[in-house]
A and B are shown apart, each in its own frame.
Chain A
């Protein structure tokens, strides 16, 4: 059962990374340019449909994939200590909240502008998720660093900020591509750790 969960988590994380990578590609690459008007029902597979329907779906699925991977990792290393459990839980909850806050308002009110209350609720949930993630990810990374998994720990805390830094520092489209690649690297790290890495040793404080 554990092995199956680890396999599912690894596949989810890898696919999630790819999904997020695709969703972060520059719109110009698939022909979506800012139009003169907003088209309510773009025809399937047209550039605005890819931009407004396919890629947000990929982003949500990608995030879910990463969260499944993270969940599987947390499940595997649950006995390793309180720090990992709390930081992992915060990271999971933060990621889920961020996804709900960012995409939820659009999903519940399709084809119209989002109502103000829904938008504010989404913003609040997203900010809450961001706060949890900002606290959870470094602490989770620290937990793995403390347990001797230096490459994974540093990767966990550094990949996404590095992607953002590259996206800012390099001119487009190189910067945009590097920023998008960070998600593939993060998904790959999670998958690798689940598939190849050894579980952490139970801590003495474990129940």
Chain B
């Protein structure tokens, strides 16, 4: 139907009013960037596999967030173009109406990669991608809320001796890394998050409680927590474990469970610890406290109501996603110095997240492209200028969405929600 001049004027007025109201509400990001990034190389997840890794990629990724301190940092270098798929394995995960969307993010131990679904854990050869074992049926914990860039099932956790720990809806289990057999299993907790492991203590945070176990599964201590606590791995050093709770943060002695300090905050990102500083995102920015005492070291805010989420903390940078109340998010690279942080670059990422980093890159999950043609992608940003040398693209269907990767030296292990596991190498 042809539009009249009056219709056009009314539409224009409505558009202007909406724009003005949105702007007046101060809802947009503080990042001056506009538009999604464009990758120099795009690697689809169904690209032909070029064959197994010539040798095991160096490095390890024992937890979904990289290490026990939740820094999301790998010690080696991230892969650089040209990326290639070395192997691809489809795991038989549970399906609903023929579609499975519950595979976890991968973790990597000495020889294998491990992936969970709501009913078990799978062990795959890191070299070839062959599935070497599946565990007996286990009720693996599901994440607490639906999020487009977060897997629905929590990841397993590789301990210091290579043993695989997995949080369950009714407790915690330890699996033999060689064959996936259950070495011990304890109950009495609900919806246990991936545990963090210090040198001789496993700290398991469940819904309403936190427990410390010896490596053989003996319970050492227990503390009550508020309900609806986080289902993310607590951050830990050898001396302190920091939990995200309903009311903020709590720091405990991992050996005894004694409370060291507590902070009441609206915490938007799980805590990460580096160089004696515990960093976390809040509803208004970033805060850093002394991990031993909880005293503030610095705070950084872009603007009121700009929440900081999905932290990655490398030796020289803090990467964070600024999430405005009602608009697209932006990834920020902040340079660390003794008194705080300074912005280095930022990039609009829509509803994306940052998942991991190295000295040279930070990795994020976001949609590349606009509209129906957009694809759920894992993207590498260069650390210095935020350029995007590569992207691994999934698809529009939820079973092809990518999970946070395991980052090794020059290689990645990536899973899709549908249970496809890929070994990816860089540099040819």
Point out the residues of chain B lying under 8 angstroms from A111, CB to CB: 343
Nearest opposing residue in chain A for B36, CB measure? A36
Q: What string of 1s and 0s marks CB contacts (under 8 Å) between A19-41 and chain B?
A: 00000000000000011111111
A116 within 8 A of B: yes
Quote the shortest CB–CB distance from B75 to chain A (angstroms).
Answer: 24
* A41 to B335 Cα, complex, angstroms: 12
Nearest opposing residue in chain B for A40, CB measure? B343
Point out the residues of chain B lying under 8 angstroms from A39, CB to CB: 344-345, 385-386
Stretch of B26-34, B84-92, B231-239 lying at the A interface: B26-34
- The answer to whether A40 and B345 have CB atoms under 8 Å apart is yes
Point out the residues of chain A lying under 8 angstroms from B356, CB to CB: none
Of A35, A41, A112, A116, most B-chain CB atoms within 10 Å: A35
Point out the residues of chain A lying under 8 angstroms from B387, CB to CB: 35-37
Q: Which of B44-94 contact A (CB under 8 A)?
A: none
- Please count how many residues in chain A sit with their CB below 8 Å of the partner chain's CB atoms: 12
Q: Which of A32-52 contact B (CB under 8 A)?
A: 34-41
Point out the residues of chain B lying under 8 angstroms from A112, CB to CB: 30, 32, 302
Point out the residues of chain A lying under 8 angstroms from B343, CB to CB: 40, 111
A204 within 8 A of B: no
Quote the shortest CB–CB distance from A53 to chain B (angstroms).
Answer: 14
Point out the residues of chain B lying under 8 angstroms from A113, CB to CB: 28-32
Q: Taking chain A's interface residues, is the majority helix, strand, or loop, or is none over half, making it mixed?
A: loop
- The answer to whether A37 and B30 have CB atoms under 8 Å apart is no
Point out the residues of chain A lying under 8 angstroms from B308, CB to CB: none
* Given A36-B388, A38-B32, CB of A116 within 8 Å of CB of B347: no
* A112 to B302 Cα, complex, angstroms: 8
* A113 to B346 Cα, complex, angstroms: 12
* A112 to B386 Cα, complex, angstroms: 17
Point out the residues of chain A lying under 8 angstroms from B381, CB to CB: 36-37
* A38 to B348 Cα, complex, angstroms: 9
Point out the residues of chain B lying under 8 angstroms from A38, CB to CB: 31-33, 345-347, 386
B38 within 8 A of A: yes
* A35 to B386 Cα, complex, angstroms: 8
Q: What string of 1s and 0s marks CB contacts (under 8 Å) between A165-176 and chain B?
A: 000000000000
Instruction: Select B37's contact among A36, A40, A116, beta carbons within 8 Å.
Output: A36
Q: Which of B1-56 contact A (CB under 8 A)?
A: 23-24, 26, 28-33, 35, 37-38
Point out the residues of chain A lying under 8 angstroms from B24, CB to CB: 116
- Please count how many residues in chain B sit with their CB below 8 Å of the partner chain's CB atoms: 26
- The answer to whether A36 and B30 have CB atoms under 8 Å apart is no
Quote the shortest CB–CB distance from B331 to chain A (angstroms).
Answer: 8
Quote the shortest CB–CB distance from A27 to chain B (angstroms).
Answer: 15
* A38 to B345 Cα, complex, angstroms: 5
* Given A111-B343, A113-B32, CB of A37 within 8 Å of CB of B386: yes
Point out the residues of chain B lying under 8 angstroms from A34, CB to CB: 35
- The answer to whether B347 and A37 have CB atoms under 8 Å apart is yes
Of A37, A40, A113, most B-chain CB atoms within 10 Å: A37
* A36 to B347 Cα, complex, angstroms: 7
* A116 to B387 Cα, complex, angstroms: 28
Point out the residues of chain A lying under 8 angstroms from B344, CB to CB: 39-41
Nearest opposing residue in chain B for A35, CB measure? B387
- The answer to whether A37 and B32 have CB atoms under 8 Å apart is no
Point out the residues of chain A lying under 8 angstroms from B23, CB to CB: 116
- The answer to whether B32 and A36 have CB atoms under 8 Å apart is no
Point out the residues of chain B lying under 8 angstroms from A36, CB to CB: 37-38, 347, 381, 386-388
Point out the residues of chain A lying under 8 angstroms from B33, CB to CB: 37-38
Q: Which of A55-70 contact B (CB under 8 A)?
A: none
Q: Which of B342-400 contact A (CB under 8 A)?
A: 342-347, 381, 385-388
Point out the residues of chain A lying under 8 angstroms from B347, CB to CB: 36-38
Point out the residues of chain B lying under 8 angstroms from A116, CB to CB: 23-24, 26
Point out the residues of chain B lying under 8 angstroms from A35, CB to CB: 385-387
Point out the residues of chain A lying under 8 angstroms from B26, CB to CB: 116
Instruction: Select A37's contact among B28, B302, B346, beta carbons within 8 Å.
Output: B346
Point out the residues of chain A lying under 8 angstroms from B31, CB to CB: 38, 113
* A40 to B331 Cα, complex, angstroms: 13
Of B26, B28, B31, B345, most A-chain CB atoms within 10 Å: B345
Q: What string of 1s and 0s marks CB contacts (under 8 Å) between A110-149 and chain B?
A: 0111001000000000000000000000000000000000
* A113 to B32 Cα, complex, angstroms: 6
Point out the residues of chain A lying under 8 angstroms from B385, CB to CB: 35, 37, 39
Quote the shortest CB–CB distance from A117 to chain B (angstroms).
Answer: 10
Add 11 more A-B contacts to A112-B302, A113-B31 (CB < 8 A). A34-B35, A35-B387, A36-B386, A37-B347, A38-B345, A38-B346, A38-B347, A41-B344, A113-B29, A113-B32, A116-B24
Q: 21 A-B Cβ contacts within 8 A?
A: A34-B35, A36-B38, A36-B347, A36-B381, A36-B386, A36-B388, A37-B331, A37-B346, A37-B385, A37-B387, A39-B344, A39-B345, A40-B343, A40-B344, A41-B344, A111-B343, A112-B302, A113-B31, A116-B23, A116-B24, A116-B26
Sorted nearest first, the 7 A-B pairs with minimum C-beta distance are A37-B386, A36-B37, A37-B347, A38-B33, A37-B345, A36-B388, A40-B343
